[in-house]
Amino acid sequence: MSEKFNEQELSRIIEMAWEDRTPFEAIATTFGLNEQAVIKLMRAELKLRSFKVWRERVTGRVTKHEKKRPPGITRGYCPTQYKVR
């Protein structure tokens, strides 16, 4: 699966998966990977301990699913996250 993506794309997928406010739906829209595919990719690309930490972190996190998000959250990242220098 990770063969479909170049190094930069893999890095961005992993980064998006780690971000608390980036829902799996955003990854699906951008890269065509559903939640199960992201989990599979993370398992393949991360060290075992890092994968376990990530799974603990995202399991049950409401902000990782658009339908479970509180109504006030309409964006996938913090406004200061992508500062222009």
Dihedral angle computed from the Cα positions of residues 43, 44, 49 and 53, in that order, rounded to the nearest 10 degrees: -30
Residue 34 placed within a domain = yes
Residue 73 placed within a domain = no
From CA 42, how far away is CA 69, in angstroms rounded? 23
Q: Tens of pLDDT along 48-82?
A: 999 999 999 988 777 676 665 556 655 555 555 55
Full-model pTM: 0.74
Residue 81 placed within a domain = no
The tally of domains found in the chain comes to 1
Query: For the chain, how many residues are written?
Result: 85
According to DSSP, residue 74 is labeled -
- Contacts of 44-47 with C-beta under 8 Å, sequence gap 24+, read 44/1, 44/2, 45/2, 45/10, 45/14, 46/14
What does the pLDDT average to over 38-52? Answer: 96
Residue 63 placed within a domain = yes
Give me the domain span that covers residue 53. 2-68
Residue 21 placed within a domain = yes
Residue 80 placed within a domain = no
Residue 55 placed within a domain = yes
